[in-house]
Structures are given as structure tokens and as C-alpha cells.
Structure 1
């Protein structure tokens, strides 16, 4: 926000506790009952003053006044209400691209929360009507990252530590895109879009597995393992029904469990037979799982998980070492508790 000059200038330190709400986001709120406290900048005394409390019904005159004040940049929201604000716009993710008053960390929280919700819905109901909003939100995230690829670091600081299918999808997206961007150079936006979508939906076929197999603590029986081995093909079939099929997606969905020594599945291909995208996804998928608490294994420290992968000859060691080097240099220090963030109540 640019400081206003002359009498009534908005002090720059206001952004530490408040942020200016854009007209687009204000218009997305319920007109008569905004879900957050609103503050108005009083130009005559150059301070913020309370305007209305969250949930209070505004009069017709106030609705018009708020719209006018907002258009002038004089309506603010307290950052203490950010969790409410973010939960509102999480369903209209494109709004984060229009609100230039959000901090990078706040945008990462909102994007991750939106992706988590979209994937959970698609996992339960893998149909086109549910896929389309998921696809739109992934494209919002890639547009945001394309403007500055370094923003992916904020996503890496927000890996989930408790396993759920949707959390695993978000983790794999963040880790896989971070790895991809390290060597992408001057990438084309189309390639970023495709890589992001493929990493995000790579495991969607798991939604077709019997639920008890995904929560079983003991070893799987041979017939149970055979069912699990089918999920890569099921992921491909689901995406074919969505009419979204391209090489990176097919490779990542179908081959992210292949291993360089031929011990993977479903084809047991090895070495150079495994596409580079699938080899990268294998590292991202395994790392994303290892750092979460699962029913049959505790969560590993991210640096230790990266170290294990970097010394495991079944994986692309070069890719895994890139990840280990980042953790060794504390590139993702001060991690955020995203499990608590998505579970908190208003």
C-alpha cells in the first residue's frame, strides 16, 4: 500500500497489524454481514477507527459507505482476523492474486488450505464437476509461483506432518515443484502447470482402495498388496475420465512407484527406462510420506528423511541430494504447523 501524502496520510506501520481490503474481496463478502471486524481510516485524525464488528448487520447506507471507503483504500481488516478472512477467500482462490496486501506467508497458507480442501473433495468424488475447481486452483498457484519461483520455499515450510490423502497430495506438490524448479531454468508456464497438476493428482487412484487397507497397521496380505499395486493405473484412468492426459501426468501417475533397481511397481522397469519426471516424483512422493505420521510409522525429521533418500540407490540420488542439501543449509527453517492451521475453527 502506498502511503498517502498530505493531511491524513496512512502510516506505513499500519500494515504490521492491519491490511487494506481490496474492493474485489470486499464484494465477495456477504453484503450485510461481513465475517470480520472492519476498520476505517479517519483521514481527519490520521488513525484507524473501528467501523463494524464481525457478524453485525450493516444498514443499506453502511453497505454503500463501505463500498465507497473501500474504493478509496480506507477499509482495513485486523491481521488477528486473518484465519477468518482466509477461510472466506479459500473458496475463491483467484482473489489472492488481486489482494496485494497479503503477506507471502499468508498467501501460502491460503493456497495450501484451498488445495487441501479441493483434493479431499475430488478424492471422495472423482467427477468432472469436482475436478474443474481443483484444476482452477492449481492454475492460480502456478500463476502465483510463475511470478516468482522462490515463493515455493514458503510452501516447503508448510509441509503437513500428519498423513491424510489430501495432505499427502499437497506435500508431494510442494516438494516435487521445489525440486523441479531447481533445474527448470527459463521454464514455460505450460510446463509448470502440467508438472504441478501431475504431482498433485498422482495418487488419486488410492481413493478407489478399500478404506481399511489405508489404515491397516500390520503387514498387508498378498491379496491386499495386489489391490494397492493397482492404484497407479486407477489414477491414470480417473484422469482420462477428466479428459486430462499428457505425458508428464501419465508418467508421474503411473510410474512414481518404479525404482531404479527394478524393485518398484507396477511395471518393474529400471534405470534409464524410468522417465526423469517419474524419478523426481518418486523422491517427492516418498519424502512427502516419510515426514508424516502414518498409522504404521512415525513421522521422520525432514533432514533425516532426505538423508535416507539420498543414500538409497533405488532413487535418483542427484534429485535426493538436492533436497538434502537444502535441509542441511536450513533453507526451510521456521516451519509452520499446517495441520493445526487447516483444523482450526473460526
Structure 2
């Protein structure tokens, strides 16, 4: 990690941040993808060092690394979109970069998880799952350090409809409900619920695209292709050896309803697991707030109100929590909280408190 040899003025740190050594080392050696700035201690000002994409000489490469060691190489926060696209390929770097603001980390995590869901939907095989698993563990580590950070993600829900956006939205909403409704959980529980929320709708990846893109009501034969997707998702998980209960419940039960009107198994009341009821609220809410071909996007408070009023189909323990939160603006965070750089001291390895989900996909007994 870069350690500054002299104090950096606060006004500089508002618009620029020191680049962490592991992130600098992950850049292409001779062509950094962002503009680099050098802090001149003699005048206490930043000066351009090199422009993005311009080839550095061997001497310049060595100098950049020396300046970084001294804490004197900076990146403009205006380049954050480029910076974040680079980081998502090595997501664990966000846990070692103390110069990123928490909101910036949340942006990177959401982009990375959406990318992994897309990759897994296209190719649901173990090597692809392992990358999704690794990045999900980075996400849960970020939350494990401070559970209130879930508000960062609730303030960033994506209003465009896609499987990846829906999955990440459901992850954020579902974990907020998980935190609000439970106090006796272990780190392993958090990891499993996060993976289950992220993959609960993976069966939709096998539904023909023309059905998903329709702007008119589905015909009976088209609905017949849509309704099995919970079973398909559960089979995808089982095929990879991901047989833990939470993922099976989330995949199979997110369309079940308390009054038995849901699918695919027409479960009623207590036949639906607690997690299945939670995911049903997260899934429905996430769908309702996005723009789809056959429906306009609802405002979050209106979507939450609709679910809370539908007591026959949705568990009020979760729907009422969500509605009250939006009604009272519970997801507002102070400017200081969203702009404060993350400080992690003695960060434990992901899932170190309990045995975590085997990345090899072995089914737990």
C-alpha cells in the first residue's frame, strides 16, 4: 500500500486519490489506463505525469512505482469509471485500497457482480461459478465489516430490466431484509444467503429471449415456457453440486405465494420456507421497480406499499419492513458516510469465522 511521506492537502484528496500499489501493479505495465498525477512536495501541488494510454519508458515505469511507494502518485476521481472497469476484473483489490470512497466501492461491487451473473448465465459451469463465488465473498466481506453498508446498495438499485440487474437488485434488497429480520446469524449464513439471492433467478437464462422481450401479454404456450424456470434454476445448481438448502429454497420458492397461487409447486403458508418468503418479496419488488416491455417501472415506495398490502400472498414480516423503510427514507446516508474512504484493519480472510461454501460446489450433507 502506498504510504505518503508528507501530508496531502485535503482539497487534493477530494478530487484525486492515491493509487494503491497492488492496483498499480495490476495495470498494463507500459500503458496505464488512467491519467496519472505526481504530487510535488516542494509546491504541495499535483502535476500531470502521464496521459492514459501513452506508452511509458522503462525508466518511467520504475519512477512511477517509486513515486507510488512514496505516496506521490494520484488518479483523478473523474477517471473512476475507467478505474472501476479495471478493478472489477480483480475485485479483491477494493479491500486493500483505502483511498476509494465507500460509494465508489459499492459501484464497483455492483458492476462486478452483474458481470459475473451474465457470465454464469451464458456458461453455467464450475470454473465460471468459482469466479462468481470469489467476487460474492468480496462483497460479503465488505458488508461483514459494517452491516450498515447495505444502504449503499439500496440507494443504487438499477431501474433497467435485465437478468443481471434484477439479480443484483434482489441481492441488495434481500440482504437488507436478512439483516433487519435476523440478529443470530453467522458469517457462513450471510455468504450462503448472498449466493442464493444472486442466483435465485438463474433459471430465467434458459427462457427463450423472444418471450422475455415481449411487450404484450404472454400466450398460454409462452407462459408454459416461463413457469418452469424455478425448477430449471434448481437443476442448474444441483448439476454443479450446489445443493445447500438456501440456494434450493431461493430458486424453487421465489414465485410461491402464501395463498397457494404461486408456482411451480403451489405451496401454501408454512410449506414455504422463511428464506423462500424473503426472496419472494425481494424478487417481486426488484421486478416492479424496473422498466419492462409490458409494464412501467413503479417508484420504490409504491412497489413496497403494494407488496405490504398484499398480505394474502406475501409475508408481512418482510413486506412491511421494506415499506416502512422507504416510507421513512431509511436508506438515506450522510454525505460523510458515503464519501469516507474505507478503513479496514486486520481484514480476515473471506468466510474465516465459519466453514464457508466450498467453491468446488460440493453438496453439504
Q: TM-score, normalised by structure 1?
A: 0.93
Instruction: Work out the CA distance in 1 between the residues paired with 2:3 and 2:133.
Output: 37
* Equivalent residue, structure 2, for 1:305: 303
* Equivalent residue, structure 2, for 1:337: none
What is the CA deviation profile of residues 86-118 of structure 1, one whole-angstrom value per residue up to 9, with x for unaligned ones? 111111111101111100110010000011111
| Secondary structure at 2:89 match in 1 | coil
* Equivalent residue, structure 2, for 1:40: 38
What is the CA deviation profile of residues 40-59 of structure 1, one whole-angstrom value per residue up to 9, with x for unaligned ones? 11122222221111111111
* Equivalent residue, structure 1, for 2:323: 324
Instruction: Work out the CA distance in 2 between the residues paired with 1:3 and 1:132.
Output: 33
What residue ranges of structure 2 are gaps of 5+ in the alignment?
334-365
271, 274, 277: which one aligns with 1:276: 274
The 10-residue stretch of structure 1 (121-130 or 30-39) with the greater mean CA deviation from structure 2: 121-130
Aligned 8 A contact 2:154 2:173 in 1: yes
Instruction: Work out the CA distance in 1 between the residues paired with 2:224 and 2:32.
Output: 52
* Equivalent residue, structure 1, for 2:287: 289
**Corresponding residue pairs, total:** 332
* Equivalent residue, structure 1, for 2:362: none
Cα-Cα RMSD: 1.6
Structure 1 segment 122-141 matched on structure 2, within 5 A = 122-141=120-139
By how many angstroms is 1:131 displaced?
Answer: 1.6
Instruction: Work out the CA distance in 2 between the residues paired with 1:77 and 1:227.
Output: 49
211, 214, 228: which one aligns with 1:213: 211
What residue ranges of structure 1 are gaps of 5+ in the alignment?
335-346
Higher relative contact order (CA 8 A, sep 6+): 2
Aligned 8 A contact 1:161 1:292 in 2: yes
By how many angstroms is 1:212 displaced?
Answer: 1.2
* Equivalent residue, structure 2, for 1:339: none
Instruction: Work out the CA distance in 2 between the residues paired with 1:216 and 1:31.
Output: 47
Structure 1: 4+ residue segments shifted above 3 A? 1-5
Structure 1 segment 112-127 matched on structure 2, within 5 A = 112-127=110-125
Instruction: Work out the CA distance in 2 between the residues paired with 1:241 and 1:35.
Output: 40
Structure 1 segment 185-224 matched on structure 2, within 5 A = 185-224=183-222
